[in-house]
A and B are shown apart, each in its own frame.
Chain A
Amino acid sequence: MKDDDLRRHLHKLRVPEGSETARARARHRALIAFRQGGSMRAEEPAWKGFVWRWRGVIALAFVMGLLPVFFFKHRNTSENLANDRQILQQMEKLFPNQVDAVVDRNGKVALSIAQSPVVGSDQPVVVVFKRGHESIRVLSYSGHRVCLMLGKTENCFEILATPAGGVILEGEDKVWSASEHPEVAGYSVRAQSLEARL
């Protein structure tokens, strides 16, 4: 076999195009790493970090008191995406780039924040799980991993916003597209990009 024949043969190997989901995930994670790199370049002195940590604790205590008020206020208009945006905006002001997720489980609200400001926050999404009277509302960002108790089992998902404005939930071994109104562990799932400018 001549070199040219070998070359021609090899070019028959088709390279699959990476899936859109994989590409989206890679882009998102790379951008988070990029911002992390940026924050490392502009590293603050240790004493400053100490002061900010304590401010964070105080702010967290304040927010934990405030969050139920927010949700109570907006309970009757829970479908209102503007309210979800407002809640995330408030959280972002208090914890810039640290908000991982805000979870409202039947009125009990939990806030998950990262220890340092490394979390990407450009693609806010809302995901609602419903089963009977039970309702779990998750406000988070594309690319974030959220773990929830659904029934008696813990389910972890990575939330990904698609270029078309949809939302994909990527579980351990399955992927759900919110546009298909999937059911997960007996819960119906709705999800939407909040498309906010935080």
Chain B
Amino acid sequence: MENTKDFAPRVVFTYKGRMRIENEEVPEAQLVTGAQSGDAKSFEVLFNRYYNMIHAFAYRVCLVETEADDIAQETFIRAARGISSYRATASFKNWLYRVAHNALIDWGRQAARQRHKENQFAAELESRSQARTPDYADIHAALKQLSPDLREAVALVYFEEMNHREAADALGCAETTISWRIFRAKGVLKKLLGSKKGEAS
């Protein structure tokens, strides 16, 4: 299900201080075709439409805001370079998810190699600063226990409300893989969140 907040027409103040209303009329296919033929404005509108969606997805997988910033940026840089390779056989949104997924794989490798400690520290700081409710901290901690590929599946199925087939399309894997990941993720999350609930009561 699409996040209607991102698709609603809205007034946008551009960098140059001018105001414009965007997203209302122009169909996505037209924007994609425009971008593929080199029209930067079309690409910019696509960026504005999907940045929040990709940023949220990246955050739900990596759970660190600054990392989500970097991954969202990397996703759009890759999309900008590779948009000519996009074919309309898949939805543009799913194609972007696929690009983000690849960026996340690279992030995972880097994080494992170089930034493990820094990420842990940043995540800890962030979870402290954002632990506005016990629920938030618990959920953050529980998600942190999942591997990134499980978190990706959870992000698409639970937050983006995709079915398993759509999530599989977005991540470029088999539907059964998604089903299996969701099964495993549910097991871990229910155990962790259930026990927290038990402790609280």
Q: Which residue numbers of A lie inside 8 Å of B, CB to CB?
A: 1, 3, 6-7, 9-19, 22-27, 29-31, 33-38, 41, 122-123, 142, 161-165, 195
Considering the chains assembled together, what is the distance between the CA atoms of A30 and B159 in angstroms?
26
A37 touching B13 by the CB < 8 A rule? no
B59 touching A16 by the CB < 8 A rule? yes
B77: chain A residues at CB < 8 Å are 26, 29-30, 33
B28-62 at interface with A (beta carbon < 8 Å)? 35, 38, 40, 43-44, 47-48, 51-52, 55-56, 59-60
A10 touching B38 by the CB < 8 A rule? no
A10 touching B47 by the CB < 8 A rule? no
Considering the chains assembled together, what is the distance between the CA atoms of A27 and B51 in angstroms?
9
Q: Give the number of residues in B that approach A within 8 Å (Cβ atoms).
A: 49
User: Is B193 located at the chain interface by the 8 A CB criterion?
Assistant: yes
**Least distance between A18 CB and chain B CB atoms (Å):** 4
**Least distance between A180 CB and chain B CB atoms (Å):** 19
- List, sorted by A's number, 11 A–B pairs whose CB atoms are closer than 8 Å: A1-B194, A6-B190, A13-B143, A16-B130, A18-B55, A30-B73, A30-B77, A33-B76, A34-B80, A37-B80, A161-B15
Considering the chains assembled together, what is the distance between the CA atoms of A11 and B135 in angstroms?
10
**Least distance between A116 CB and chain B CB atoms (Å):** 15
B1-27 interface bits toward A, Cβ cutoff 8 Å, 1 = contact, 0 = none: 000000000000111110000000000
Given contacts A6-B189, A17-B52, A31-B80, 14 further A-B contacts (CB under 8 A): A6-B186, A14-B136, A18-B52, A22-B72, A27-B51, A30-B47, A33-B80, A34-B80, A37-B80, A37-B81, A38-B38, A38-B40, A122-B15, A162-B15
